[in-house]
């Protein structure tokens, strides 16, 4: 009699595990199909990195031309000493290139890197000091 309950218990555990396995597979499959099909955003990274520094005088350089798939690392100079937040225009929504936005302030000594997958001329600003602006041209 006990054995019968034990077998029943095992069957239930097996069904739960199977259900979890199937649902986790469905989640990962739907995540894959939800990926953007836009070719401009799925371009492989080139591995080339550029540095743009925010200083008291603004971004240095203020204009930079890079290749599609290049990465730009945004940092703040030691004299700047405040939180920084590079982001796509337009302020405050950052809607022109919404992925180009760390979505949170960056610590003064920390950097934030972004791979530019979309060709275009992208104007940007510091979200916390929006009078500091620049332009990134992606070819
Ligand atoms: Cu902004």
Predicted confidence (pLDDT) at residue 15 exceeds the cutoff of 50: no
User: What separation in Å is there between the alpha carbon of 135 and the centre of ligand 1?
Assistant: 14
For the entire predicted model, the pTM comes to 0.70
Q: Reading across the β-sheet that carries 86-88, which strands appear in turn?
A: 63-66, 129-138, 120-126, 86-88
pLDDT score at 91: 98
User: What separation in Å is there between the alpha carbon of 67 and the centre of ligand 1?
Assistant: 24
User: What separation in Å is there between the alpha carbon of 79 and the centre of ligand 1?
Assistant: 22
Q: Which residues contact 22 (CB under 8 A, 6 or more apart)?
A: none
**Residue 43 — very low, low, confident or very high, per pLDDT cuts 50/70/90?**
confident
User: What separation in Å is there between the alpha carbon of 101 and the centre of ligand 1?
Assistant: 9
Predicted confidence (pLDDT) at residue 42 exceeds the cutoff of 50: yes
What are 103-122's pLDDT values in tens digits?
999 999 999 999 999 999 99
What are 56-115's pLDDT values in tens digits?
999 999 999 999 999 999 999 999 999 999 999 999 999 999 999 999 999 999 999 999
pLDDT score at 100: 98
Reduced to 3 states (helix: H, G, I; strand: E, B; else coil), residue 58 is: strand
As given in the structure block, the two tokens for residue 98 are 């919404």
């Amino acid at each position: 009699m006990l054995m019968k309950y034990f077998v029943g218990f095992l069957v239930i555990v097996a069904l739960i595990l199977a259900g979890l396995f199937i649902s986790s597979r469905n989640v990962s499959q739907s995540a894959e199909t939800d990926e953007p099909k836009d070719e401009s955003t799925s371009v492989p990274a080139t591995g080339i990195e550029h540095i743009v520094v925010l200083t008291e005088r603004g971004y240095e350089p203020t204009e930079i031309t890079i290749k599609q798939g290049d990465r730009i690392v945004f940092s703040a100079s030691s004299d700047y000493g405040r939180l920084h937040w590079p982001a796509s225009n337009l302020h405050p929504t950052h809607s022109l290139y919404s992925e180009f936005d760390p979505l949170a302030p960056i610590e003064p000594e920390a950097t934030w890197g972004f791979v530019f997958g979309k060709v275009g001329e992208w104007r940007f600003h510091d979200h916390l000091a929006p009078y500091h602006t620049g332009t990134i041209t992606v070819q």
